[in-house]
Amino acid sequence: MTRRINSPDTDADLKLHDCLERVPRVSFNMIAGAGSGKTTSLVKALSHVVSTNGNALRMRGQQIACITYTEIAAKEIWDDVGNTPLIHVSTIHSFLWTVIKPFQKDIKQWVAGRITEKCNELEEKSAKSRTREQTRKKIAKDLARLKAQAQGLDKTPYFNYGTGSNYAKGILGHEDIIKLVTASIMENEVLRKIISQKFPYIFVDESQDTFPKIVEALKLVDSTNSEKFCLGFFGDPMQRIYPTGIGEINPVNNWETITKPENFRCSQQVLKVINKIRKPADGLEQIGGRMEVVDGKPMHVEGSAQIFILPIEGEEQRTANLKKVQSICAKMLGDDNWLQEEKIKIFVIVHRMAAKRLKFPSLYAAMNDHYASFKEGFMDGTIWPIKPFLNFVLPVVSACKANENAAIISILRSQSPTLSAPSMKGAEVREALEFLKTGIDTLVPLLEESSNGTILDVFNVLIKYGLTEVDERILAHINETVERIETSEEDVEEEENSVANEVDAMKAYFACPAKEFWGYKKYFDQQSPFATQQGVKGAEFDRVITILDDEEGTHAQFSYDKYFGVAELSDTDKKNVREGKDYVVPRTRRLFYVSCSRARKDLVAVYFTSDVEKAIMKLNEENIFEKGKVFTLENL
Ligand SMILES: Nc1ncnc2c1ncn2[C@@H]1O[C@H](COP(=O)(O)OP(=O)(O)OP(=O)(O)O)[C@@H](O)[C@H]1O
């Protein structure tokens, strides 16, 4: 068992354990600030149920469900609770799929309805007089595709869950899974009973970012079988990052609300900063702070928190200044770890900034700037254009560099179409291996640091030597057989997802230097010091640099200049304020809160702004960082 399980029970833990033991069961909502040990309480609750009720659950074939926001978080919790089969830890999509997958007949029926719904939407759009001819052409194609899929449904034997829906292939994407399962739960009492019987406990971590529809559906499962079912949410509305998240969850009458006043993560200086950031939002002030045993006695960790306000300047100058900040911190704090990449974490607002610094800017731009459908899957490595690199090129070239011949042969055996010919025997195998060796000898130099080889060059080698299967969609773009249909500008979503954009993205992708994939891989494997401010929820690090830079961000959602009062609010912002809606200032405050609260010991904010003078004035007024902890270019 790990540290999390071993940390002492707090009052909140005792209250929670009481909810778990009471008959009839009591659902609860744990709401507490950053680093207060919500995930720790969750892990301890899981362990508590296993030890008090495990045998009964085992006998009835029941499990405790724990829903996390990311696969990484799921793995961490899974490791924490010691991998027991009584606990089902997964992301929400994967959990919902577990719930619905036995009902294949109903899924097929729902898909048929969904296709009809999509067709109706398209037909309505096509019928509108302002729809342009080009858009109509695309709609006609989409309609034909959907109708073909509807006809092919009978032949689809089984539906599965994937990243994007492809009904003909029996794949349901994330969006469809959410729609399908929430609708089924809301409409079907039997399904609700089945869920609560199979999973008599369902816990949701990071509940502030859960879709409202899912919360509603789970609440209904709770009320359907409340005597024997326990639903528990663990969250912090101040840490809501995504606009689709529910934020605050309204408890139902008989639910317990559990709060945690402490912060166990942050040093004294960091705690002061995050309390001040939070003050204008809901005023919650955490107490305590990180403890360490010094000379046998538990002591508060003092730590440090400072901000550097620097001019925007060019990209190179910014990178140079960031290095200088690290040097100053090393000197000021007497800690050389600030100079080592693996000992610090740098939070950027968008991946693009990390991409520039890790030397994959064109690859990033190709996958982000043209075609909306590629964006999301690029950063988690799930989109089809990059699969041959992740599954074949990078592992093979790495194995070549390390002289691991057995690994190369094993990859080729499982992937190479040249080797898969059923008739291959004796001499033919030898010849094929020679041929593949020539292919690999041609491939490796294309990925060298000194090479100008492009991604298209790499694909040509893969195809010529039959090193690995290349997806039909990639082949179609290489052979330029994908028709470039322009869409009108009247529909942004349509525009972002048009075939023309896919063609542009693939063209830009093919032209990228292949060697950029090394930087991408480092980032993707989380081996670089960079992470995004949105992506670090739930994590913690000793030394944190968080970069506040509106120039780098293309997100209109966040603006540090507006947050600090350096830039004026736009008319839309003002309208949102008047209407009491969420807007850029609270949104940026929450992002700032999440990133600063990741620091266990030292926190450095580096704020790049076009108006340094005004920023200094505003920060001194705000007093988030103590006097003497606001530095400028002169201090570097
Ligand atoms: N009862 C406790 N005693 C001592 N340390 C604790 C306790 N609970 C949690 N911690 C430590 O505090 C840190 C934060 O815990 P945890 O990640 O569970 O907090 P959280 O509330 O889920 O954080 P966040 O919402 O900011 O992601 C971890 O290092 C954890 O080990």
Torsion angle in degrees (nearest 10) through CA of 195, 27, 246, 42: -90
Enumerate the β-bridge partners of residue 91.
Answer: 68
- Mapped onto helix, strand or coil, the DSSP state of residue 584 is helix
Using alpha carbons, list the distances in angstroms from residue 316 to 242, 319, 353, 359. 31, 5, 12, 13
CATH number at residue 185: 3.40.50.300
Q: Find the 38 Cα to ligand 1 centroid distance in Å.
A: 6
Pull the structure tokens for residue 303: 């730590």
How high is the pLDDT of residue 552? 65
Question: 345 and 408: one domain?
Answer: no
Closest CA relative to residue 589, chosen from 282, 324, 366:
282
Q: What pLDDT, on a 0 to 100 scale, did the predictor assign at position 440?
A: 96
385 with 459, same domain: the answer is: yes
User: Ligand 1 center to residue 336 CA distance, Å?
Assistant: 27
- Residue 235 is part of which domain span? 11-100+180-260
Instruction: Answer yes or no: do 539 and 609 share one domain.
Output: yes
On whether the CB atoms of residues 24 and 256 are closer than 8 A, the answer is: no
Question: Among 39, 46, 277, 595, which residue has the most ligand 1 atoms within 8 Å of its CB, making it the best to mutate?
Answer: 39
Same domain, 501 and 459: yes
The pLDDT of residue 560 is 95
Choose the final residue of a domain: 485, 518, 551.
Answer: 518
Residues 436 and 547 in one domain: no
> Which pLDDT does position 155 carry in this prediction?
83
- Do 50 and 29 lie in one domain? The reply is yes
- Do 476 and 369 lie in one domain? The reply is yes
Interhelix angle for 174-187 vs 212-224, to 10°? 30
Mean pLDDT of each 10-residue bin along the chain, 636 residues long: 73 94 91 96 95 95 93 84 89 92 92 91 83 76 84 85 74 88 95 96 95 96 89 96 90 90 97 97 96 94 97 84 95 95 87 83 91 77 89 95 93 87 67 92 96 96 93 86 53 52 91 96 82 82 94 75 95 94 95 96 96 94 92 90
Q: Are 198 and 62 in contact (CB under 8 A)?
A: yes
> In angstroms, rounded to a whole number, what is the distance separating the alpha carbons of residues 245 and 238?
11
| 327 torsion bin: left (phi>0), alpha (psi -120 to 50), beta (else) | alpha
Condensed to tens digits (0 to 9), the pLDDT of residues 98-140 reads: 999 999 999 999 999 999 998 998 888 888 777 677 778 778 8
Is residue 38 lining ligand 1, measured as CB closer than 6 Å? yes
CB of 41 closer than 8 Å to CB of 80: no
Give domain status of residue 197, yes or no: yes
- 535 assigned to a ligand binding site: no
Please write the tens of the pLDDT for every residue from 46-74.
999 999 999 999 999 999 999 998 877 88
Where residue 628 falls (left for φ over 0; alpha for ψ -120 to 50; beta otherwise) is left
Q: What is the pLDDT of residue 532?
A: 79
Binding site membership of 36 for ligand 1 (Cβ less than 6 Å): yes
Evaluate whether residue 579 is within a structural domain. Answer: yes
Pocket flag, ligand 1, residue 35 (CB < 6 Å): yes
Residue with tokens 């349901």: 172
Number of domains into which the chain is organized: 3
pTM listed for this prediction: 0.84
Query: Which H or E run contains 28?
Result: strand 28-32
Structural domain contains residue 135? no
Please name the residues in contact with 558: beta carbons below 8 A apart, sequence gap of 6 or more.
349, 550, 584, 587, 588, 591
Q: Which of 483, 518, 553 is the endpoint of a domain?
A: 518
| C-beta of residue 181 within 8 angstroms of C-beta of residue 217 | yes
Q: How far does the centroid of ligand 1 lie from the alpha carbon of residue 63, in Å? A: 25
By residue count, the chain amounts to 636
Does residue 47's CB lie within 6 angstroms of at least one atom of ligand 1?
no
Indicate whether 256 and 323 sit together in one domain: no
Instruction: Show the CA angle centred on residue 535, arms to residues 273 and 36, nearest 5°.
Output: 45
Does the beta carbon of 601 sit less than 6 angstroms from any atom of ligand 1? no
- Residue 609's DSSP bridge partners are 311
